[in-house]
Amino acid sequence: MSRCVTICPVGHVDDEIIKRLAERITSRCGLASQVSPGMENPKYAYNESRCQYNSKLILKRLIQDCPHATFRLIGVTQVDLYIPILTFVFGLAQIEGPCGVISMHRLYPEFYDQPSDFNFLMNRIEKTALHELGHTMGLTHCRDRRCVMHSSTRIEDTDFKQPNFCPTCFELFNWYLENSLP
């Protein structure tokens, strides 16, 4: 198994966003990254009563379709995600699982009546993807509010934290890499 993180568009996602996310994961984590052709719109996960998409169903499909040649897979979608016990989620991953999924829906500045800002959006996407990637590596939520592994229940949490792991989470991330199969 190679140590390559695959970025997978789920439904239509701008190619530039996917390309930049792959580059940022490589620069932050030192892992090779690649972009997969993508998956169809996740209609199978749509909940009419909530007008949202069940992130667990999308994650299940990603796990099922995850290429064996990838170390980790991060799905990126435009749709609004939820889990049954929460109003929404920015992303979801299985602890030490092969995949995670993030939603850009609530990461757009325009969602909060802020002016459009591509770089600001990319910073939010990067932090959210790194957070979910951390979960796939076995990391749980961190108490350090500046650490990318700190829980984001509000967009302000995402904006406050840095796009980096704190020293402890960084050490755990590297320990996992050293002790996982090649």
Alpha carbon distance 133, 136 (integer Å)? 5
Which of 126, 132, 171, 178 is labelled catalytic?
132
Helix H or strand E encompassing 103:
strand 99-103
* 23 counts as catalytic: no
Whose tokens are 């509010």? That residue is 145
Alpha carbon distance 61, 77 (integer Å)? 13
Does residue 30 come out as left (phi exceeding 0), alpha (psi in the -120 to 50 range) or beta? left
Beta strand ranges found along 58-181 (DSSP E): 72-77, 81-82, 91-93, 99-103
Structure tokens at 138: 């076995």
Burial class (CB in 10 A: 0-12, 13-18, 19+), 156: exposed
To the nearest 10°, report the CA torsion of 52, 115, 10, 33: -140
Question: Do 89 and 59 meet the contact criterion of CB atoms below 8 Å apart?
Answer: no
Q: Give the residue numbers marked as catalytic.
A: 132
